[in-house]
Amino acid sequence: MLLFLSAPQPRPPGARSRAGAARVARWRRQRLRLQQLRRLRGLLRGLRGRPGAGGRRRGRMALCGQAAGAASLPSELIVHIFSFLPAPDRLRASASCSHWRECLFYPALWPQLRICLRVSPAEQPRLEFLMRKCGWFVRELRVEFAAENYLSGGGGPGDAGDADGGPGGEDVEALQLSTRWLEVLRTYLELVLCVLVSIRNNRNLQKFSLFGDISILQQQGSLSNTYLSKADPDGKTIKQIQQLFEEILSNSRQLKWLSCGFMLEIVTPTSLSSLSNSIANTMEHLSLLDNNIPGNSTLITAVELERFVNLRSLALDFCDFTAEMARVLTDSNHVPLQRLSLLVHNVSVMHKSLDNMPNDEHWKALSRKSTSLRVYVMAFDVKSEDMLKILKPSIPLERIHFDSYITCVSGAIVDLISRQYDKFLTHFILMNDVIDMSGFPDLSDNRNEDPLVLLAWRCTKLSLLAVHGYTVWAHNLIAIARLRGSDLKVLEVTEESIDFDQGELADQDVDPVHNLIEQMNQTGSL
């Protein structure tokens, strides 16, 4: 018979007394700290070990190092370390071991996710992996699609190389472009579908933004629904995307920011009805920019807008922003609106009427209700006569962006803007992509003063001026810089837009552009 005797375990001091319970707890905490200190000390001895040490010591140090190595750190500690690293460094650190890779996609590390995608098949596997890892918990998601690089990169699907010259060469090139556009749209629909599927059950989503590149919607300046119908002949993919979008809205519980621009019919006139009243009442930002809606259909009506009583920022197609909507936003139950962004597109103006737009009295009432309201207008290929109807004097216009493919902006429009919005205007962007071999249009033709110089003189809050595709004389550019000085934070004019007097070119032995930059530096604006 074997008899095992064990020594009695020592009781912690104060254990027999109920009054010593606090001392017992303190003794246990001290004992735990001592054990952790011993483990750390063993790890340090292992790190300081010398190659000439004995085998038993090396084995003991290796055991200590293995027990407290990087792979054995708690997940909470690894996540805490990752939180101090930028995203690229997190990815590199996660390659250390499988345990660190598992901690890479911890929800606390990815509250925000911004993805910029080329519309290319190569992007799909990476997007699927990322959305599968983060789509179910991310709180702020922004996805941008860009097709320009894919279309101009060459070697894409349907690109059969350079078309042979001679008869039929243009037809071959047009066929290749058509094939590539179809492939772009098919890939685009698959990528959108991947994003929406991954977040359909995400109830923590607070900000959701989708932006499509304008080049996806346009080919040579005009909308092309033909390609979309060929890319999805039966319409099943688009229908599925629309249903998923509505499902995301109906499942949302914390959504406060919704933005969808140039996304090819993802948003329908019935999409917002999927939002519950509680979510609509707390929504702070709403942006619905899609000029591809046929006929007189609108993405949001004045009746639907009544639910969004907490809106601080709103972005719509200008033809959808009616006088009734302006009246709704002035109601007492709505909070003051701070930002209103309006897209004016020639396609919308052609198919929708401007008769229902707010008049000057509506703008005055809206400005009285929202004293800090600022308006941003982006105009694509809009005729001057239409802009004269749109630009009401009482609009608190802060930013305006003209982008032309067919119709150029006239000097009269620039002069009107400088007169009416001199107290508000801070950003003025003038872009012209019209292919005209005769030269860029000159806004100062038949005028005593250049409209851009008058703009800089009248608009005392102007901080950004960008011009491309319009003639800007060098002496006028210097005048603009002197008028605004250091208050003009950005003055961007493409080199091909700058023109010089013949006398200046003849008298200068150096590069005129270099000399212009030196004169601009002397004004203190650069």
DSSP secondary structure of 177-199: HHHHHHHHHHHHHHHHHHHHHHT
- Is 454 within the bounds of a domain? no
Express each pLDDT in 330-350 by its tens digit: 999 999 999 999 999 888 888
Residues 95 and 242 in one domain: no
Q: In total, how many domains does the chain have? A: 2
pLDDT digits (tens, 9 = 90+) for 431-479: 988 666 567 888 887 778 899 999 999 999 999 999 998 988 888 888 8
* 94 and 117 part of one domain: no
At 351, the pLDDT band (50, 70, 90 cuts) reads confident
* pLDDT reading at 68 higher than 80: no
142 shares a domain with 256: yes
- Could you tell me if residue 488 is inside a domain? no
pLDDT digits (tens, 9 = 90+) for 136-161: 999 999 999 876 544 444 333 334 34
Instruction: Give mean pLDDT, residues 120-136.
Output: 89
Q: What is the mean pLDDT of residues 267-283?
A: 93
Task: List pLDDT tens digits, range 408-423.
Answer: 899 999 999 999 999 9
What torsion, rounded to 10 degrees, do the Cα atoms 486, 492, 495, 500 define? -50
227 and 204 share one domain: yes
**Token digits for 507?**
């008298």
Does residue 13 lie in a domain region?
no
- Are 144 and 285 part of one and the same domain? yes
Q: Are residues 99 and 184 in the same domain?
A: no
Are 225 and 262 members of one domain? yes
Domain that holds residue 259: 111-150+178-292
Same domain, yes or no: 137 and 255: yes
Please report, for the domain that includes residue 79, its CATH number: 1.20.1280
Domain boundary among 292, 312, 327: 292
Q: Please check whether residues 205 and 262 belong to one and the same domain.
A: yes
Q: Give the residue with greater pLDDT, 162 vs 499.
A: 499
Contacts of 307 (CB under 8 A, 6+ apart): 275, 277, 280, 281
395 part of a folded domain: no
**Distance between CA 357 and CA 335 in Å, rounded?**
22
Same domain, 215 and 244: yes
Query: Is 383 contained in some domain?
Result: no
Domain end among 245, 265, 292 = 292
The encoded tokens of residue 266 equal 């993802």
Q: Please state which of the ranges 96-105, 139-148, 171-180, 282-291 shows the lowest mean pLDDT.
A: 171-180
Query: Is residue 341 in some structural domain?
Result: no
How many C-alpha atoms does 97 have within 13 Å on its Cβ side? 9
Q: Is the pLDDT of residue 508 over 60?
A: no
Looking at per-residue pLDDT, the higher value among 433 and 206 belongs to 206
Confidence of residue 56 (pLDDT cuts 50, 70, 90): very low
**Can you give the pTM of this predicted structure?**
0.77
- Pair 95, 201 in one domain: no
Poorest-confidence range of 308-322, 332-346, 406-420, 505-519? 505-519
Q: Within a domain: residue 386?
A: no
Contact 290, 241 (CB under 8 A): no
The answer to which of 27-31, 58-62, 78-82, 514-518 has the lowest mean pLDDT is 58-62
Average pLDDT in the chain: 80
Look at residues 81, 104, 127 and tell me which one is the last residue of a structural domain: 104
Secondary structure of residue 380 in the 3-state scheme: strand
In terms of domains, do 78 and 133 share one? no
- At 158-202, the pLDDT tens digits run 343 444 444 455 555 555 657 777 888 888 889 999 999 999 999
Residue 252 resides in a domain: yes
Most confident of 146-150, 379-383, 509-513: 379-383
Q: Name the strand (E) or helix (H) holding 478.
A: helix 474-484
